[in-house]
Amino acid sequence: MVGFPVSAMRSPEVVDNLNTLADMGIRTMLEGFGTAPDELAALEDVSVSCVRFARRLVERQAQSATDSPLTAALTTLVPLVHRSGAKVIVDGVHTDEQADWWAMAGADFAIGDRYGPACPPGDLAARLT
């Protein structure tokens, strides 16, 4: 999978390249996705396999009240991303409570300290056996 920062979507060349990669069957991901409307609009311009939410949003959600505007926006954003056909990855999950909240919100994958420290790919295979 090839990842691109969502900020690169401002360039028509990047949009063309992402669409070409998708046409070739290469899975792509937008990284650092947030709640800006132009980022949602980008999902209409390209076919991406997944969207990785900005770590700062994931960590900020953990500090927000359940009725905060950010929490409301994130619970709405996950289904909107799914409507585009993309999976949602959240980065920065540190606690069971965060993992439960994001699972309830509909995130497809979560990464962060709650699942263990970062490691080289070869070490990951050994951990899974």
**Domain count across the chain:** 1
CATH number of the domain encompassing residue 40: 3.20.20.450
Q: Any residues with CB less than 8 A from the CB of 112 and at least 6 apart, and which? A: 58, 90, 91, 92, 93, 94, 98
- pLDDT by residue (tens digit) across 53-77? 988 988 899 888 888 898 998 999 9
- Does 90 have pLDDT greater than 90? yes
Q: Read off the pLDDT band of 85 (50, 70, 90).
A: very high
pLDDT of amino acid 42: 83
- The pTM (predicted TM-score) of the whole model is 0.85
- pLDDT of res. 24: 93
Rounded-to-integer distance, Cα 101 and Cα 53, Å: 14
Q: Which domain holds residue 44?
A: 2-128
| Angle subtended at Cα 108 by Cα 63 and Cα 37, rounded to the nearest 5 degrees | 65
* pLDDT of 39: 84
